[in-house]
């Protein structure tokens, strides 16, 4: 059965600036290359879900500018419903500037733009869409109040909610945590929220315990090239990543989450298997340049299983 996934989140035009390393304060450096592509954490996650086989829809905002159609068309090209991607007349479409180093590591500067205009009224307009979904996913590149409102509605109609707390913030509002079924931070975001650095198995378990105290029932912490840790009230475990040579880690976490949502059961009974699938997907992403252009299809992920 195909999962129905709704993503409430951000749409950005990514400008990718390829550099040898980060410049020092006051230093001027030449770039090796530059390019642009559709991105945004929300859009990346939706594309990953759709390419991995989920029936995917999007709730978001674009500006009244040339970028708007590029962003909409990118979603449509992957079969993602854009009925609820609306236009904000007062702000430009979101943009991200990705400083990609030769090592494959990246640093990202984000202009929120129209993403910050997403309001509860946009959720009201999409209630029928949400009600029909298996999962509602959101992140922190759109207003948290709007996400909370959407998650409250989703839980009231039996839809499973997944929160990716990125970019990192010091605390997640209690009202939002109450209506989050699965929390999925990376190790940096987890440490920011718990105050416990993620370094080894013991620190992951301590993070999980702290999150449990906050009311988190299901947790996945992604740990970059090492893999992903998961925990709930019954068990915890670690799923190793697949060893590949990374050329660009942009969208690796977004690919993981989107691919995960395409396979996960709403009762989380296949958590480990879904993480293995998501690890396969993100291992392909990091071997390619760009955000959405690097996200694999279901056929590509399945081919990894056959190797």
Domains, the chain: 4-10+41-87+115-306 (3.40.1190.20)
- Residue 119 DSSP label: -
The binding site for K(+) consists of: 248, 250, 285, 288, 290, 294
98-117 tens-digit pLDDT? 899 998 888 889 899 999 99
The binding site for substrate consists of: 12-14, 40-44, 141, 254
Q: Token digits for 126?
A: 């999409």
Q: Cβ distance 40 to 62 under 8 Å?
A: no
Residue 196: pLDDT above 80?
Answer: yes
- Which of these is catalytic: 73, 254, 267, 306? 254
**Band of residue 179 on the pLDDT scale cut at 50, 70, 90:** very high
**CA atoms of 28 and 132, how far apart (whole Å):** 52
208-246 tens-digit pLDDT? 999 999 999 999 999 988 999 999 988 999 999 998 988
**CA atoms of 49 and 51, how far apart (whole Å):** 6
Residue 254 falls in the annotated catalytic set: yes
**CA atoms of 38 and 296, how far apart (whole Å):** 15
The binding site for ATP consists of: 186, 222-227, 253-254, 279
pTM: 0.93
Residue-wise DSSP of 180-199 = -SEE--BHHHHHHHHS----
Cα angle at 74 between 43 and 47, to 5 degrees? 40
């Amino acid at each position: 059965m195909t999962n129905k996934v709704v993503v409430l989140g951000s749409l950005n035009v990514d400008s990718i600036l390829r550099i040898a390393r980060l410049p020092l304060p006051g230093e001027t450096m030449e770039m090796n290359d530059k390019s642009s592509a559709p991105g945004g954490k929300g859009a990346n996650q939706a594309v990953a879900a759709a390419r991995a086989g989920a029936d995917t829809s999007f709730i978001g905002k674009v500006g009244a500018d040339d970028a708007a159609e590029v962003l909409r068309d990118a979603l449509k090209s992957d079969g993602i419903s854009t009925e609820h991607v609306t236009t904000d007349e007062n702000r430009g479409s979101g943009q991200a500037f990705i400083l990609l180093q030769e090592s494959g590591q990246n640093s990202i500067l984000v202009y929120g733009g129209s993403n910050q205009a997403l309001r509860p009224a946009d959720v009201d307009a999409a209630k029928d869409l949400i009600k029909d979904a298996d999962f509602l996913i959101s992140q922190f590149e759109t207003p948290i109040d709007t996400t909370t409102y959407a998650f409250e509605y989703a839980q009231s109609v039996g839809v499973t909610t997944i929160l990716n707390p990125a970019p990192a913030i010091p605390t997640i509002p209690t009202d939002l945590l109450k209506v989050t079924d699965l929390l999925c931070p990376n190790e940096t975001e987890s440490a920011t929220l718990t105050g416990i650095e993620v370094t080894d198995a013991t620190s992951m378990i301590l993070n999980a315990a702290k999150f449990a105290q906050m009311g988190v029932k299901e947790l996945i912490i992604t740990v970059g090239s090492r893999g992903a840790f998961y925990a709930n009230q019954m068990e915890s475990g670690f799923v190793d990543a697949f060893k590949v040579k990374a050329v660009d880690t942009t969208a690796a976490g977004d690919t993981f989450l989107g691919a995960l949502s395409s396979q996960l059961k709403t009762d989380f009974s296949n958590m480990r298997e879904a993480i293995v699938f998501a690890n396969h997907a993100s291992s392909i992403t990091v071997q390619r340049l760009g955000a959405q252009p690097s996200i694999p299809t279901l056929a590509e992920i399945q081919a990894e299983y056959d190797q």
